[in-house]
Structure 1
Amino acid sequence: MPKQPNLTLIVDELNQAANQIDEQQLEQLTDAISKAGRVFVAGAGRSGLMMRAFAMRLMHLGLDVYVVGETVTRSLSKDDLLLIGSGSGETKSLIPMAEKAHSLEAKVGALTLSETSTIGGLADIVVRLPGAPKDQAGDTASTIQPMGSLFEQILLLLCDTIILRLMAREELSGKAMYGNHANLE
């Protein structure tokens, strides 16, 4: 079977990106999720889809988790965590959410390319992910992929890494988590 050069290049980019994640930032976010009363996730576009996938896995762990904007999402309070995934950290629809969370004294976490972005500046916890801004991706040496693909992929993988850390802390197996899997499908 012939090699898939583009797939190999993408996997290489993901390996390079994974090696750039700050372990201390990742541990700080994992701790905040563990200690939160409830976890609320938000993101827009494809980043939003990655955050929704993360919410599902958090629910499988048994956490009280909500996707901002869904009709069944509860109100945010002081002991909660709002976790925002935004490559630019400047997504106009997400900035007011971070501001509102602060006004309610909830914690804000950001998964972003830029710690100095508006959302990064509003966040109590920032995990900086490597990648290129949408308008530069594919045109720079940091990625061959279009738009925000590298950010979105590493975002999903980072979220799965957090799930594995939380599973280890709670001594949960995938089999135990399956008990929270949807059964009306």
Structure 2
Amino acid sequence: MSKKLRKTYGKADAPSTVALMRLIETQSKITVANWTLNYAEQKLLPLFLKRCPNDERPAHAIAAAREWLDGKVKLPYVKNIILNECHAAARELDDNPVAQAAARAIGQSAGSIHAAPHSLGLYFYAAAAVGYDRLGLDADEAEYEVIAEEVCADYTAALRVVAVENEPNPAVCKWNC
């Protein structure tokens, strides 16, 4: 691999990303967290496990986040798993960009339980994971950005399915991108 790979794809100022952000802002933190966890479990965990079948750390982060949503554990317990298991798995995978990006995306999904803007991080890392999985590591940047747009559309569609119309308690989102 001759070029330095990007950790994420997608653009924060792209119309599709801005539309996703506006939709996220209309939903409760619980809706956002459940949506990101479901998406990560259905779309990204399989990519990770295809390359790291014996590493359960990202799956453990999803499970711990769900336990928090169910009121069974405290947030520090989940944060420890996110940081010391899921993100640690990602840091160990410099030689496996698909699994690394998938683990980072899963970590962002688990992090959405305490901060809804983490849901956008899932998108950016998912775009890299899916792009590297589909195109390999040597495609043109423009090809990866096409995949990022497809991932954004899929992710947005998944939120529209579970979105609560006129949500009375929308999440507070301070976007840092």
TM-score (norm 2): 0.31
Larger-gyration structure (1/2): 1
Give the number of the structure with larger relative contact order, counting CA–CA contacts within 8 Å between residues 6 or more apart: 2
Give the strand-richer structure, 1 or 2: 1
